[in-house]
């Protein structure tokens, strides 16, 4: 696999101009942040990602993880890299200064997460889950739990996990059976959790598990789930780890990809009960867990961005060096990058990577405003925008990552099917991103049900007003782009109107059209951001002709070759396609 070099110029363009970082830094909570500081932070992060994490990517893929006795052993080199990661303060970047964090905007933290994930997604999953656990504890736990656990989790001295599902439950968390029994001032937990990312390792001296479980007599279904904090090692009065708790990794899964990330089966209470502490109120666990889930979903979206960009870099490097055939207009043999079909693939990879990055960064910046703006109305409006965009950012970015990483293999030709190039690993690693933290289907149901039908499209229509304003601004310099964006916005409105009017006509309608609705939504909203990037690049072109003209060309390509997909997706919505339900089970 080729070296990874973070595309800091592209990332800063998306942050500064599309996510409007200067406005984020102007919030009182971020008075010590500035675009200049952020640029410096990203340059340092790029060096760490490229020099320290990226060389371990293939190592993790080849070696994987294993259970030795009662302990998971991570891949060679990961522990040493993690020490450097925490020494440099990277886990604390977007965290609350009250508990030792640096207090930088969430969108800046997301940009560094893209770098970690592009360099070594297996490694990046560890701090990513920790950030989600930190969010949940900070928002919902008691002051005592915050004081005990947050400083060491924010420093990276301890890591965190999410323990949600079980073998019989899958995505249906109402079926969770792990139980919690009151014991003195805490609880004892009994049960088994599966698919626990970085559920155990030896890189730190404690792992903090957030666990969904049921109290005796709790209501059935999701209304009876509580959230518990269960440390691997109990914490002594001096704040240091003490006795081993009754929670163990019993196995790690043998997976298609992300081999360097231990996906654990976790056993609680095999030796008398795992001691845990109730987070917040009883029976509110699922609500609290969504604090983690939403954070994780956006981070998984940016994993899709990261793997897309890494695949693009890899493909460009190969296409420049691989000599084969005679391209039109070229004398003799030429590098395959001169062949039009290879250019088609590379431009698809480039455009989809840039568009998905813009989508995720803009979503993260909306959360910054939603969490930190002083005006309650501004906060509420920003949160509506962020929550609307989260399922789209997660699902669309990871779905297109499947396409981009697959194209990366195709650009390599036969060598792409050979593991030594690294192209296949990126495709294998990307495959999980559409599944964990809520499948694409679950994100689509969330979008169409909770984010569109519930408010009758109000948040979405507010966004589409901005899309239409951009289309008007495009008319002078980019008339074809303006016409395409206007048409796509109209199709989006028509599909939304159809859903709102007819969702009650057929019990399966909303679910049946949800995927195409989400993919159409992602295509249009990402296209809107690409259109904005073209307008911005045109105004800045005199500063750097090569960089900004490439932005304009990439946006033009997006509208020529990718935006037409929106019409196909929305057409599938508007015909109310429920034929997938027409066959009997026996006919399959």
pLDDT above 70 covers a percentage of the chain that reads 100
Adjacent-strand bridge partners of 162:
210
Whole-angstrom distance, CA of residue 461 vs CA of residue 489: 10
| 193 pLDDT higher than 70 | yes
| 173 pLDDT higher than 90 | no
Is 228 in contact with 277 (CB distance < 8 Å)? yes
Average pLDDT score over residue span 83-87: 98
| 259 pLDDT higher than 70 | yes
Per-residue model confidence (pLDDT) at position 327:
87
Is 284 in contact with 100 (CB distance < 8 Å)? no
Lookup: tokens for 232: 């691997």
**Tens digits of residue pLDDT in 448-480:** 999 999 999 999 999 999 999 999 999 999 999
Per-residue model confidence (pLDDT) at position 292:
78
Per-residue model confidence (pLDDT) at position 224:
94
The confidence band for 329, taking pLDDT boundaries of 50, 70 and 90, is confident
Average pLDDT of the chain is 96
Lookup: tokens for 363: 């979503």
Going by C-alpha positions, the residue among 190, 173, 148 that lies closest to residue 286 is: 173
Whole-angstrom distance, CA of residue 530 vs CA of residue 306: 18
Average pLDDT score over residue span 252-257: 97
Catalytic site includes residue 437? yes
The confidence band for 505, taking pLDDT boundaries of 50, 70 and 90, is confident
DSSP-derived pairing of the beta strands 186-197 and 179-183:
antiparallel
Per-residue model confidence (pLDDT) at position 291:
79
Residue the block writes with tokens 């450097």 = 84
Choice among 35-39, 171-175, 201-205, 293-297 with the minimum mean pLDDT: 171-175
Tell whether the torsion through CA atoms of 175, 510, 380 and 107 is positive or negative.
Answer: positive
Per-residue model confidence (pLDDT) at position 159:
98
Going by C-alpha positions, the residue among 264, 269, 270, 236 that lies closest to residue 250 is: 264
| 578 pLDDT higher than 80 | no
The confidence band for 249, taking pLDDT boundaries of 50, 70 and 90, is very high
**Tens digits of residue pLDDT in 515-554:** 999 999 999 999 999 999 999 999 999 999 999 999 999 9
Catalytic one among 74, 106, 114, 437?
437
Per-residue 3-state assignment (H helix, E strand, C coil) for 362-410: HHHHHHHHHHHCCCHHHHHHHHHHHHHHHHHHHHHHHHHHHHHHHHHHH
DSSP 580: G
CA dist list (Å): 125 to 160, 296, 382: 11, 10, 27
209's enclosing H/E stretch is strand 207-215
* Residue with the larger pLDDT of the pair 119 and 506: 119
Each residue of 38-70: b (16+ CB within 10 Å) or e? bbebbeebbebbbebbbbbbbbbbebbbebeee
The confidence band for 171, taking pLDDT boundaries of 50, 70 and 90, is confident
Lookup: tokens for 104: 């930088």
Which residues are CB-contacts of 108 (< 8 A; sequence separation ≥ 6)?
Answer: 15, 21, 33, 38, 41, 42, 93, 94
**Tens digits of residue pLDDT in 387-430:** 999 999 999 999 999 999 999 999 999 999 999 999 999 999 99
| 309 pLDDT higher than 90 | yes
Count CA within 13 A, CB hemisphere, residue 184: 6
Per-residue model confidence (pLDDT) at position 294:
81
Whole-angstrom distance, CA of residue 357 vs CA of residue 302: 7
The confidence band for 576, taking pLDDT boundaries of 50, 70 and 90, is low
pTM above 0.85, yes or no: yes
Average pLDDT score over residue span 338-357: 98
Tell whether the torsion through CA atoms of 432, 294, 446 and 362 is positive or negative.
Answer: negative
Tell whether the torsion through CA atoms of 358, 362, 364 and 365 is positive or negative.
Answer: positive
Average pLDDT score over residue span 240-262: 97
Lookup: tokens for 272: 């008398």
Q: How far is C-alpha 334 from the geometric centre of its chain's CA atoms?
A: 38
**What DSSP string runs through 454-518?**
TTTTHHHHHHHHHHHHHHHHHTTT-HHHHHHHHHHHHHHHHHHHHHHHHTTTSTTHHHHHHHHHH
Q: How far is C-alpha 182 from the geometric centre of its chain's CA atoms?
A: 36
Lookup: tokens for 548: 């900004």
């Amino acid at each position: 696999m080729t070296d990874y070099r973070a595309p800091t110029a592209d990332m800063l363009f998306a942050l500064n101009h599309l996510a409007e970082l200067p406005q984020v830094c102007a919030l009182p909570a971020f008075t010590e942040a500035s675009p200049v500081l952020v640029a410096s932070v990203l340059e340092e992060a790029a060096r760490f990602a490229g020099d320290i994490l990226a060389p371990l990517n293939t190592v993790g893929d080849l070696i994987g993880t294993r259970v030795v006795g009662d302990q998971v052993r991570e891949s060679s080199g990961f522990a040493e890299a993690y020490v450097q990661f925490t020494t440099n303060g990277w886990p604390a970047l977007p965290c609350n200064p009250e508990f030792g964090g640096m207090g930088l905007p969430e969108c800046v933290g997301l940009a560094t997460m893209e770098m970690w994930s592009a360099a070594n997604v297996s490694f990046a999953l560890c701090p990513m889950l920790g950030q989600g656990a930190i969010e949940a504890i900070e928002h919902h736990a008691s002051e005592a739990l915050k004081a005990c656990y947050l400083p060491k989790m924010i420093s990276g001295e301890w890591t965190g996990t999410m323990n949600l599902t079980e073998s019989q439950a899958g995505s249906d968390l109402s079926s969770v059976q792990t139980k919690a029994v009151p014991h003195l001032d805490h609880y004892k937990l009994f049960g088994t959790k599966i698919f626990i990312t970085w559920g155990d390792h030896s890189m730190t001296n404690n792992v903090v598990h957030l666990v969904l479980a049921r109290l005796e007599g709790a209501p059935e279904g999701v209304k009876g789930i509580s959230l518990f904090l269960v440390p691997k090692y109990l914490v002594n009065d001096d704040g240091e780890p003490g006795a081993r708790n009754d929670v163990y990794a019993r196995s790690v899964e043998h997976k298609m990809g992300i081999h360097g990330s231990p996906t654990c089966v976790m056993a609680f209470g095999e030796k008398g009960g795992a001691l845990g502490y109730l987070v917040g109120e009883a029976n509110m666990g699922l609500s609290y867990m969504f604090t983690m889930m939403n954070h994780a979903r956006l981070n998984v979206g940016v994993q899709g961005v990261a793997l897309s960009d890494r695949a693009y870099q890899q493909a460009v490097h190969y296409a420049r060096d691989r000599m084969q055939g005679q391209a039109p207009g070229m004398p003799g043999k030429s590098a395959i990058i001169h062949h039009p079909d290879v250019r088609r693939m590379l431009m698809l990879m480039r455009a989809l990577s840039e568009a998905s990055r813009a989508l995720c960064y803009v979503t993260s910046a909306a959360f910054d405003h939603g969490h930190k703006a002083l005006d309650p109305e501004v906060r509420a409006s920003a949160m509506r925008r962020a929550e609307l965009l989260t399922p789209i950012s997660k699902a669309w970015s990871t779905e297109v990552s499947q396409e981009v990483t697959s194209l990366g293999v195709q650009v390599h030709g036969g060598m792409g099917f050979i593991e030594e190039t690294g192209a296949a690993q990126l495709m294998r690693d990307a495959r999980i991103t559409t599944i964990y933290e809520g499948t694409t289907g679950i994100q689509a149901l969330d979008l169409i049900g909770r984010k569109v039908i519930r408010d009758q499209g109000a948040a979405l229509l507010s966004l589409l007003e901005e899309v239409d304003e951009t289309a008007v601004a495009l008319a002078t310099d980019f008339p074809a782009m303006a016409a395409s964006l206007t048409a796509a916005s109209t199709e989006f409105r028509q599909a939304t109107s159809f859903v709102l009017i007819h969702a009650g006509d057929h019990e399966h309608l909303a679910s049946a059209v949800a995927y195409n609705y989400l993919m159409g939504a992602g295509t249009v909203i990402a296209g809107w951001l690409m259109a904005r990037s073209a307008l911005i690049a045109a105004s800045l072109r005199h500063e750097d002709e090569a960089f900004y003209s490439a932005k304009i060309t990439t946006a033009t390509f997006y509208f020529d070759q990718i935006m037409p997909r929106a019409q196909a997706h929305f057409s599938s919505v508007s015909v109310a396609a429920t034929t997938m339900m027409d066959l009997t089970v026996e006919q399959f």
